[in-house]
Structure 1
Amino acid sequence: MNTAHTPSIAAAQSVSTSSTSIRNLPINLFGSVMGLAGLSLAWRLSGQYYGVGALLGEAIGALAGLVFVLLALGYLGKWLKHPDAVRAEFNHPVASNFFGTVTIALLLLSAVATPHSQGLGQALWIIGSVMTVALAGLVVSRLLAGQQDPLNAVPAWLIPGVASLDIAVTGAHMPMAWTAEFNLFALAVGAVLALVFYTRIFSRLVHQAALAKGMVPSLMILIAPFEVGFLAYTNVFGEIDRFASVLFYFGLFLFVVLSFKVFRRDVPFAPAWWAISFPIAALSNAALKYAHAQDSTVLMVIAALILLFLTLALTVLSVKTLASLFSGKLLAN
């Protein structure tokens, strides 16, 4: 097996033409829904705790839902017209992990929708949960087949695993009698997979060749297990204890360290940049929740700065994505 390089996501798309085509719609673009939904929930929390941003949060949530519908229709069109391209992405050792962005998007949208429609929120959560557990099982099964290229152990590996934690993040208030045990199950699966995958990814990043520039933004995914873990843990157990504090603070530390590696001018814009959105959104939600619980002015300022940074970052990404779409570059080979 050739281990000289990490396969790029683009390599999964065997496109025979350079013209604009729905065939070139990347699965990782669903990361935009994750980021927007996470931003919506963060502004909703800001409104709940501090009376600022609630309406903005609802507007962003509606936008996240619209973007999901448009992307789902687009990817369905790709599946119907170019099933070989979808199979290539699904079987690719790196790109396949981004199918987890679809399931996480459904889970987050369930949290966005629930205050407005409990039926819709519950339906989205159940569908997202089933898909998330199925994808996690498939990923583990593939890895246990053996003969894996060690260079494929990249941050995107965490997406299907961490997705299970999002079940507990978004399902803590679901009214069904069976949800309490299912949330514990999801927390267990997500936590252990995150631990196992994180160790392998960190070893690869330390001992193997550096990631290609196009994959540098995905480094921010490394904070997700800690901040999503914080949210899942506190939702399931109903309190912020010392262990939860440790999760939050280490994720915050990693965010600062990784920011200097990720936000560089020599990394050009691509849909892969949306990989930064949900991890920072999880950090923002965690920071708001932690600051409110601790009633600390310093923590409140930190939470506000993270939320403003996230809002600015997603605004820039949205503008750049739309510009790329209308210029024809987004769907070009």
Structure 2
Amino acid sequence: MQTMAAVQKERSLGSIQFLPVSLFASVMGISGLSLAWREASKLFGTSTVIADICGILAIVLFVALTIAYLSKWALYPEKVKAEFKHPVSGNFFGTITIALLLLSSVIGVYSRHSGQAVWIIGTVLTLTLSFVFVGRLLKGNHDPSHAVPPSLIPMVGTIDISVAGGSMPFPWTQEINLLSLAIGGIVALVFFTLILSRLIHHDPLPAGLMPSLFIMTAPFEVGFLGYTNFEQRIDPFASILFYFGLFLFIVMFFKVFHKSIPFGASWWSVSFPMAALSIASLKYARFVDSWLLIGISAILLALLSIVLAVLFVRSLNILFNGKLLKG
């Protein structure tokens, strides 16, 4: 009877074989929301309670998704292999390693040594994944239509190493951060050009990939955070990165948030780029001390909080009605 009940429950929720790796982007977004509210406490003097709640939620969600995806790997290894080799969905494996890097900052608030250990693991995995994906691309014969915003994730994600590693005390940290900025920065320059060319000269993105347009803003805002962490100052180059990312966000906002785009797991693609912009705006507003930028940072933080709350509720809804894990 228990076996039959379990089978019936699986049928109602769907099968774990259809769990998309892109769901790890939710951990990135919620971790980013935690870090944004912690940054807001420095600018507005707000309580860190929201940051703590979001941080705990991100950790629990990462553990749950890791267990679920490892189960998928054990039960359906061919499904995982096919997803990893896919020219588009394979890029989302980078969300796992980036999630670890962001969680290192979240965990580091409560346990410095644990945060450092998670950062080291995330750094090794991120650099390894970047190496694998660059090697894959250099084999040639790639369809130009596969140059889509998610292509930025596994390689440009190396910039997040310096974002989370700005406060790491190891003697080799500075060189690792510089390495990550070099890889992520140059690859971002190349891939941003390729993706922009594809968006201009080829067919529009499929509806399911439209939310990923926000990923185009990430190299600039994450680059701003990584660069300023490394330099320990905000200079004109950092300001240029921030303002261009803000400009892209405004342009993409009206293209992404459209009723014609159906909701699905891919919508979590908007979460971390928005979080990175919010954190960058809070940090920049604190540096410039301008009422206009302070107002913009407050609006972006409120918008980020609302969007992630809606994404979380709607994701639970499609999970329990069986649409999330439906083949």
TM-score tier by shorter-chain length is over 0.9
* AA in 2 matched with 1:94: V
Distance in 1 of aligned mates of 2:203 and 2:174: 43
Gaps of 5+ in 2: 1-10
Name the CA shift for 1:96/1:117 in 2 (closer, same or farther; >3 Å).
Answer: same
What is the percent sequence identity of the aligned residues?
A: 54
Distance in 2 of aligned mates of 1:196 and 1:58: 37
Distance in 2 of aligned mates of 1:300 and 1:120: 33
TM-score, scaled to structure 1: 0.94
TM-score, scaled to structure 2: 0.96
Distance in 1 of aligned mates of 2:232 and 2:156: 20
Q: CA deviation at 1:53?
A: 4.0
Specify which of 13, 33, 37 is matched with residue 43 of structure 1.
37
Q: CA deviation at 1:49?
A: 2.4
Specify which of 250, 259, 264 is matched with residue 265 of structure 1.
259
* AA in 2 matched with 1:206: I
Match of 1:163 in 2: 157
Match of 1:72 in 2: 66
Match of 1:94 in 2: 88
- 1:151 matched to 2:131: no
* AA in 1 matched with 2:54: I
- Structure 1 runs of 4+ with >6 Å offset: none
| 1:48/1:54 contact within 8 Å kept | no
Specify which of 107, 121, 125 is matched with residue 119 of structure 2.
125
Q: CA deviation at 1:48?
A: 2.1
* RMSD between superposed Cα atoms in Å: 1.1
Q: CA deviation at 1:19?
A: 7.9
Name the CA shift for 1:45/1:191 in 2 (closer, same or farther; >3 Å).
Answer: same
Match of 2:8 in 1: none
Match of 1:4 in 2: none
Specify which of 172, 185, 188 is matched with residue 194 of structure 1.
188
| 2:101/2:160 contact within 8 Å kept | yes
| 1:191/1:229 contact within 8 Å kept | yes
Match of 1:252 in 2: 246
Larger displacement relative to structure 2 (148-157 or 113-122): 113-122
Distance in 2 of aligned mates of 1:19 and 1:326: 6
Distance in 2 of aligned mates of 1:161 and 1:39: 22
Q: CA deviation at 1:106?
A: 0.1
- 1:175 matched to 2:169: yes
Specify which of 95, 100, 109 is matched with residue 103 of structure 2.
109
| 2:26/2:268 contact within 8 Å kept | yes
Name the CA shift for 1:69/1:19 in 2 (closer, same or farther; >3 Å).
Answer: closer
Match of 2:316 in 1: 322
Distance in 1 of aligned mates of 2:103 and 2:47: 18
Distance in 2 of aligned mates of 1:158 and 1:78: 25
Gaps of 5+ in 1: 1-16
Distance in 2 of aligned mates of 1:87 and 1:236: 36
- 1:222-281 residue CA offsets vs partner (Å, 9 max, x unmatched): 000000000000000111000000000000000000001000001010000000000000
* AA in 1 matched with 2:119: W
